[in-house]
Structure 1
């Protein structure tokens, strides 16, 4: 099986750890089609660590996002606190028996990942339990740091760099932010269904848009031109963050560039689709087709093979 070959390549032999990494890989494959496809372009020995980091993030995100499963916000907060306590204890001890956290703790130790990045991530997840909207972009940026920028910083040691790590960190953080801003734009309707708006209220107001207008458009499937203009402004910001992040691809170790370059292009394609839909993201969700994902990934796969054989 592919998962066994990856774990063997990474010299992960402990049965408990192998099960934990396999669980994280399954979470990645189930919930992150774009990310999972991109990870196929990494060396086998790199994949388990990326799956562990993404799988943990997905798990924590699901705790706060599954708002229709009957649990109260207090119950979800208690579960998140339990997860945080288990993670911090595992990081301090260098091991964990939890079926997901064990892989994260092992990855953090193998790649010397700063524990603060996990603390910041969980702080943003906790915000999702109480914060329903953000008055300004500065307010949103505090959330995005923990929910996205630190993910780029967690993954960077696994990818490796061709420059000192500190030099590559700003671009890695920016790429995490770019992906998150893209998700916000793609998922405006779904986030409204969960009671949240991740678009700065003051910037929406500059275009004559407020939350009730967004909710009406979601209910009726009719997008006002003011909403389209407000979303176009947000797309422009996301593209600017992608431009800030792009130089970081060349700072990565050569073996990791095809993977990150593919994710960069796939997520950028989502912005293209939003524009092609005239910024109508409230009546449906734009999705990069499987054929398009393959068309983008195949050239990167060829480059990846060349790098591995060099």
Structure 2
């Protein structure tokens, strides 16, 4: 591997460790080649997301630094697709991304959907319904991430695709529920407006009211249904990939547990899974090796698997 690629993959790993700790811990259970590819996909998505969410932050050298967020995102998108067409880049992180995508045969159309969703963040601050949020935004910001990761995870059946998409949706919905306060500070609400209205819940109050509790309980139930469908896809993954995804799935569901334990108070500090819990789970999986897929469902309580997510 060239020095350029080594530098790029090293930086991608650092970005994943700093910003996507659950992905990072899960990826540690993969062989090094797959682990590097997870880091590369995450790094590309992280850099694009930072243009949208933190426009005043000093950008990584691989990200355009001048212009409006829209101009910078457009420039980054054009740069990515130009590098993908050439099959190389002289910037380390982008070089590692292109190397990974070409080796894995990842469909470039996935990234069209991804960048389209990032652009929507610059023009949309609310979403009227769950189908509008899921199909209009999360399709490109979450479901497609599952599709991007599939070539890295090396599934044994094409049937894994739908479950991977559900996992991407589940992860992002958990983020939305956890990060309500942070998103409000950015002028965004990633919650279905019609369901808020039906419950009489108002996140702008930043208060845990009875209406807020019933609204959030409904969202958590929806989220658990998505995780249940995602877990059904674990048998389609080889051993290492199954442990990787199962670990990430379990850790993310623990965020939901903590949201419930906090009485749905997501307004006073970010809810996190402590590092010692992540380390303990990782240690068990690293020591035990392959587990039966049923061990990884992580779904407690009654879940209707036929419920439409």
The answer to whether TM tops 0.5 is: yes
Choose the corresponding residue for 2:109, options 116, 123, 133.
116
* 1:68 Cα offset (Å): 5.2
Structure 2 residue 287 is matched with structure 1 residue 302: yes
Q: Say if 1:38 and 1:262, in contact at 8 Å, map to a contact too.
A: yes
Distance 1:143 1:73 in 2: 26
> What displacement does 1:70 show?
10
**Structure 2 length as normaliser, TM-score?**
0.88
Does 2:203 align with 1:214?
A: yes
Q: CA RMSD in A?
A: 2.0
Distance 1:110 1:229 in 2: 47
Alignment of structure 1 residues 51-130 onto 2, 5 Å: 51-67=39-55, 69=57, 75-130=68-123
Q: Quick check: 1:21 aligned with 2:9?
A: yes
Asked if 1:49 is matched to 2:37, the reply is: yes
Whether the aligned pair in 2 keeps the contact of 1:258 and 1:303 (CA below 8 Å) is no
Alignment of 1:151-300 (within 5 A): 151-163=145-157, 166-209=158-201, 213-217=202-206, 222-300=207-285
Change (3 A) 1:70 1:227: farther
Contact 2:180/2:267 (<8 A) preserved? yes
CA gap of 1:227–1:74, structure 2 versus 1, over 3 A, is farther
List runs of 5+ in structure 2 lacking aligned partners.
60-64, 292-309
Name 2:139's counterpart in structure 1: 145
CA distance in 2: counterparts of 1:266 and 1:137, whole angstroms:
24
Q: TM-score, normalised by structure 1?
A: 0.88
Give the match's secondary structure for 2:200: coil
Q: Indicate conservation of the 8 Å contact 2:243/2:290, yes or no.
A: no
Following superposition, the deviation at residue 162 of structure 1 comes to 2.3
Out of 120, 129, 139, the position equivalent to 1:136 is 129
How many residues in Structure 1 have an aligned counterpart in Structure 2? Answer: 286
Structure 2 partner of 1:30: 18
Which one has the bigger helix percentage? 1
Structure 2 contact 66–72 (Cα < 8 Å) conserved = no
